Amino acid sequence: MASILNPYISFRDDARQAMEFYRDVFGGTLTVNTFGESGMPDSPAADNIMHAQLETENGFTLMAADTPPGMDHNPGTNISVSLSGDDGDQLRGYWAKLSEGGNVAVPLEKQMWGDEFGMCVDKFDIGWMVNITQPQG
């Protein structure tokens, strides 16, 4: 898989409805994972979306999530750029450059879903997420 760059939109409790709407607009396949399915079954946000991904036949990729309780949700600044793929060396290089001089919110490290993931805001105040897919074994 090549590295992929795509928008990642944060919602407040309506990511599922928004992503179903975008699927109706663009077509494609929508996958959805809730916070409950991802290790937080007793959370008040268990039914909210931890990660949704729409892949269209035209090659569009759109990702989204509900903002977890306790985190700010500011419409207008609720879009980040996501870099993902399985080329760990390439993606770690991008991460190093993007995070240098910026602020790291989540260090690039292995997460509960098995991939390496990190979040940062670069020196120009642009939010970035990097996800390195781990081989399925």
Per the listing, tokens 């109706």 go with 24
Q: What is the pLDDT of residues 3-38, one digit of tens each?
A: 888 898 998 899 999 999 899 988 999 999 999 888
In 3D space, the residue among 62, 60, 59 whose CA is nearest the CA of residue 49 turns out to be 62
Which of helix, strand or coil describes residue 76?
Answer: coil
CA–CA gap between residue 120 and residue 126 (Å, rounded): 8
Q: What is the pLDDT of residues 54-72, one digit of tens each?
A: 998 878 899 999 988 788 8
In 3D space, the residue among 45, 30, 60, 132 whose CA is nearest the CA of residue 90 turns out to be 132
Q: Residue 124 above 80 pLDDT?
A: no
Q: What is the mean pLDDT of the chain?
A: 89
The pLDDT value given to residue 61: 92
The pLDDT value given to residue 100: 92
Per the listing, tokens 């990660």 go with 51
Average pLDDT over residues 111-136: 89
The CB density around residue 39, as the number of other CB atoms within 10 Å, is 11
pTM (predicted TM-score): 0.69
